[in-house]
Amino acid sequence: MKTFQELKDEMIEAIKKKIVFRAGKKKILKVTDKKGFKMSGGKEVKMKSPELIARKKAAKKRVIKMKSKKGVLTKKRLKTMKKRKAGGF
């Protein structure tokens, strides 16, 4: 049996902060590491089975789509990296 402190530490470890850039601005998001959970209103919530199934389907579709776009994305990334290098990043 786990103590309350151990359970609390596990919860804190599962929720992490991630820095992303959206529309040229820096934004800090809370994300979860646990499988089958999502962030909702700043809290970790277990996903229902229909949502999990829908997400799995969507992920499979995305893999197929991204395979066809891989060449274009690679070219764009290389172009961006060249610009970043020129800018001193």
Q: Are residues 11 and 32 in the same domain?
A: yes
Same domain? 55 vs 73: yes
pLDDT for the residue 12: 66
Query: How far, in Å, CA of 72 to CA of 76, rounded?
Result: 6
Residue 7 has pLDDT above 80, yes or no: no
* HEC per residue, the chain: CCCHHHHHHHHHHHEEEEEEEECCEEEEEEEECCCCEEEECCEEEECCHHHHHHHHHHHHHHHHHHHHHHHHHHHHHHHHHHHHHHHCC
Same domain, 2 and 43: yes
Range of weakest confidence among 3-12, 20-29, 76-85: 3-12
pLDDT tens, position by position, 31-72: 888 888 988 888 888 999 999 999 999 999 999 999 999 999
User: In terms of residue numbers, what domain contains 57?
Assistant: 48-89
Question: Percent of the chain at pLDDT above 90?
Answer: 38
CB 13 within 8 A of CB 37: no
Q: Per the structure, how many domains does the chain have?
A: 2
